[in-house]
Structure 1
């Protein structure tokens, strides 16, 4: 067990490495970036594969020798002359050969495969997490996850096929050639002709397997993405009575997956049929040639026996080799498809000399900011304004006015097409994204929670917080009491209970209060509130509003609101329309102006801005 412990921990898959925001976009350099830590183990594994193949060829050679010895000796002469030799061979078969094969298997199964997969997943996940939010919004979460998980597993399978099949095969064919040449050089002719035809069959087959495998892998990712999308939005499926519609759509996707899989298997079937024919030719030609030579007293009966055994062994081995090569190229297809996600350059990178944002006062200055998402209109148009340190500014406007775009720009979830945003005189494009967002706390209108415990979700705001700070934040968010009453299906209670995917086990108000507790615990100097109390009932909202007022003291605050009653006490109100600032001032000033904000105030029904 100590040997296995050593092999399993020979390479640490989570060790620090030289990361690149622009991974190799060609398959072999890409794979090499994952295999570098395993080069020594792989070299040793090549040696043990050659030794294993050599042991197999030796056994066939010795079978022929044993037949010759028996045919030329009486029993007494045989045991008298060759007993020691037989004992040595028995020791080799029972001790040395199993030891070589065990080391060979342990290297690939214990030292390489699981660690290659773990290293690949860890690095791929780390790389994907660096992508901007917009990158995730343009693809299925299920497809991204499938590629992050399956691509590294395919890397491990590929290493196994190379080490366990291809290396062994090369060594075995070399040994077989030496054995036949030693028996009689003419026996190399049928083996060489067969090898040429076998390579031709492989080239024909594998040229078609790789694109078919990639298409099948892509179809599998699309299928998984569709299923995850349906399950993640099961409430919508049920509320709109679209179970049958989802089933019908899934049928088409599943059928597409079936067709690509069948196309791949047709190639495998053709390969198998050709292989069976070739192997029949191999057996007949090698054994027939050996029999012909024995008949003419050119070789011994032992050569016939070893040649026949070798032909039968190659016959059984070639099917395994073909399956291994098919798996090899199938793995290449999975890796190639996975690279479409994992090998994409980071779409929004920190500049080379980016430093951390060190906030002093929290003043925000926006200068000529424009962003249209690559289009001619929409988004933001030439915004310029300043939010003083500790000032509380509300942003209002109709749907599509640019409020969310402005918030995303402040958080640098994208790089603006024109203009700049500075915090305390520092352009946010010149600091690290991590440090920027570490200084901003945000409560969204739709609060998403991680499928973890209540404790983990709140501590996401400040992982090193004490238990006392955790509970204090929950109490301020009016969440502590209902948290204590929670219990999940596994029996976890209170702060240890699981919230379900995206927090589905909690009500909207409960999720919002957990999200508030998380931001309270983070205690960032800049606070963004996007309808922070929208999911709360009136009684709880009044309590939370008092907490928010307390939170806002000494912070720079930006509040996005549709209910104007929640922002009338802000220092200033900024009105957006079609991406432009149309009005700016206090609540009273804007009412006196009798413009768009005043119109909103007069027309709002139930406290919401009319369309």
Structure 2
């Protein structure tokens, strides 16, 4: 039975999620897509349970009246059928309660937030590189997890408190009026006063909840950032600095917590005063009417029991309403991240890229990060199929930016980038990047096994192809010696976050093996051997030479000597091509390339990212 209800709602829909709306209510409504029928069922069952619970108190009053009007020995003869009917209704209520809890806890409670997290995570994976450069990874993770849970809690609170309790109070007032219409007065007065207190306190709690959610995300982001970059923290002896940096975020969270608890305490005191007033008013007024002979003892018992029940429920409602507005704040805070439009998107009907030859052509390309100082200006370059070119230039010349534009990590302002005559803006991003292999200077590995990291290049490849790629990258021997804390060895050993358990050279060789396995027709090398010692570099360079055969290659090198043998060298300065040719002709020209060559020490040229240089100069 449990399994049947658990399978009613699929938590991992295949359809790609659309960008959610930015408005609060439209966002929540979009989140309920696919389970609105279950939410409506939950609301109806909660309302039915509320009517049933309220009816029990009226039944208590009638039973008291029955007991007072009949001799004990005649009870079952006079009221037996009614009492048996009541017993049947009490037992029958188990069916409603069972259905309500099965729908709530088996169908919705786990599947709903998982469904949202699955969709939110896919939305975030589709965001551009610029998005992640502006956000803490831990902050984004927190928003994905917190927002999904907050939406679920809002749905539960709405169905159980706003709908269920609304029906409950309406039923109680109607049943109290059934004894005497004047008994409605204290309940109506309390309901109005309680509504005013909720109107005053709960929105304020909601605003504090939003601020607290943001402070919590910032706190999580700063702590995660320190853990992610722990080697840098320790290298510069900044553990105390990072502790203080996190403490500042914790202090902001602390301030919002204190403000929240002050409101909660004031709400609690106000609520208690109102409930005590309700109990005194209802029981006192009912006793007064009883002394006048206008109501029976059952009415006194029923309305007093109703007031006592409200006493317990009002505290629960207070916390649920406060939680509702806190969750509303969390959702509003999450919307700013989760509903942010993607900067780089596939065009409607975008086709898959086909690369039969491997020609790359830049036509009058202009680009600037965030509309600031231009990084690439009127750039035109054709890389012939199978040609190997080297990009050379000072820091901030635009080399890395050019590679990022080819990968379509950013969209250009004007011009076109073509691969075999196809504008990359009109093809799918996945198909574009599937035809490009890249080895970067800053190699990042996933916190998974070595096998998983290499197979990331071509997941469908078998172990034989993976082993061959590792051997070509001179990685096989050291991989066999690896082990981790869980006793996994060799290709099954996990490499740690970003590959922290490996040396720089080991990470680079695994990354090269991954690209070798991918075997894409276009190859990008951004100082692919920078982390290797001279002996291993020579072996890797031989493997790279083999890998480059028949491929279109664009290489960026800080050691100019490593790309001097390329078919053509393209020298860039301030986003433009200033020189082209082979190594000998450029040296003979005595221009920028010749000056860079002569100024190098050990054949190495210092480098920083083009984006950093552009922003620093802006």
* TM-score > 0.5 by shorter chain: yes
For residue 573 of structure 1, the aligned residue among 545, 569, 579 is 569
Among residues 211, 222, 227, which one is paired with 1:226 in the alignment?
A: 222
CA distance in 1, matches of 2:60, 2:481: 75
Partners of 2:206 and 2:47 in 1: CA distance:
27
Match of 2:397 among 385, 395, 401: 401
Find the partner of 1:137 among 133, 136, 161: 133
Match of 1:599, SS state, is: helix
2:331 maps to 1:346: no
Q: Secondary structure of the residue that 2:369 maps to in structure 1?
A: coil
Is this contact kept in 1: 2:203–2:325, CA < 8 A? no
Aligned pair partner of 1:439 in 435, 446, 455: 435
CA apart distance, 1:36: 2.2
2:59 maps to 62
Looking at structure 2, the residues matched to 567 and 119 of structure 1 have their Cα atoms a distance apart, in angstroms, of 49
1:337 aligns with one of 333, 337, 361: 333
Aligned to 2:543: 547
Aligned counterpart, 2:554: 558
SS at match of 1:366: strand
State the distance in 2 between where 1:502 and 1:328 align.
Answer: 38
Residue 15 of structure 1: which of 7, 13, 24 is its match?
A: 13
Distance 1:284 1:18 in 2: 58
Q: TM-score, normalised by structure 1?
A: 0.97
Selected match of 1:322 from 318, 331, 334: 318
Q: Report how many residues are paired.
A: 607
- Who is 1:293 aligned against? 289
1:255-274 alignment runs, 5 A limit: 255-274=251-270
User: Take 2:531 and 2:178, find their aligned partners in 1: how far apart are those partners?
Assistant: 85
Change in CA separation of 1:415 and 1:610 when aligned onto 2, cut-off 3 Å = closer
Shift of residue 39, structure 1, vs aligned partner: 1.6
Residue 124 of structure 1 aligns with which residue? Answer: 120
- What SS does the aligned partner of 2:131 have? helix
Contact between 2:222 and 2:245, CA under 8 Å: does it hold in 1? no
Q: What SS class does the counterpart of residue 344 from structure 2 fall into?
A: coil
Between the aligned partners of 1:449 and 1:283, the Cα distance in structure 2 is 65
Among candidates 5, 26, 31, match of residue 28 of structure 2: 31
Q: Is contact 1:454–1:499 with CA below 8 Å preserved after alignment?
A: yes
Report the alpha carbon displacement of residue 156 of structure 1 after superposing the two structures with TM: 1.2
Task: Give structure 1 stretches of 5+ with no counterpart.
Answer: none
Instruction: Using the TM superposition, give the Cα deviation of residue 207 of structure 1 relative to its aligned residue in structure 2, in angstroms.
Output: 2.2
1:80 shift after superposition: 3.0
For 2:235 and 2:186, how far apart are their aligned partners in 1? 70
- Which residue does the alignment assign to 2:73? 76
1:379-394 aligned at under 5 Å gives the runs: 379-394=375-390
Q: Which moved more, 1:556-565 or 1:600-609?
A: 600-609
- Distance verdict in 2 for CA 1:18–1:528, change over 3 Å: closer
Pick the aligned partner of 1:203 from 189, 199, 206: 199
What residue number does 1:244 align with? 240
CA distance in 2, matches of 1:49, 1:213: 27
Q: Deviations over 1:459-479 (max 9, x none)?
A: 111111111111111111111
> What is the CA distance between 1:361 and its match in structure 2?
0.7
- How large is the Cα RMSD of the aligned pairs? 1.4
User: Paired residue for 1:504?
Assistant: 500
Partner of 2:4: 6
Number of the residue aligned with 1:89: 86
1:376 deviates by 5.1
After TM superposition, give the deviation of residue 52 of structure 1 in Å: 1.1
Matched, 1:487 2:483: yes
* Contact 1:13 1:118 (8 Å CA) reproduced: yes
C-alpha distance in 2 between matches for 1:610 and 1:142: 31
> Partner of 1:455 in structure 2?
451
Equivalent residues of 2:11, 2:112 under 8 A apart: yes
Are 2:208 and 1:212 equivalent residues in the alignment?
A: yes
Asked whether the equivalents of residues 23 and 345 of structure 1 are also in contact (C-alpha less than 8 Å), the reply is: no
For residues 123-154 of structure 1, give each alpha carbon's deviation from its aligned partner in whole angstroms, at most 9, with x where no partner exists.
11111111110110011111111001110011
Structure 1, residues 234-273: CA drift from partner, whole Å, max 9, x if none?
1111111111111222222111110012112222222111
User: How many Å separate the matches in 2 of 1:89 and 1:166?
Assistant: 28
Q: 2:423 is matched with which residue?
A: 427
Which of 278-287 and 596-605 deviates more?
A: 596-605
Kept after mapping to 2: 8 A contact 1:373/1:379: yes
The answer to whether 1:253 aligns with 2:246 is: no
Of 129-138 and 4-13, deviating more is: 4-13
In the superposition, the TM-score normalised over structure 2's length comes to 0.96
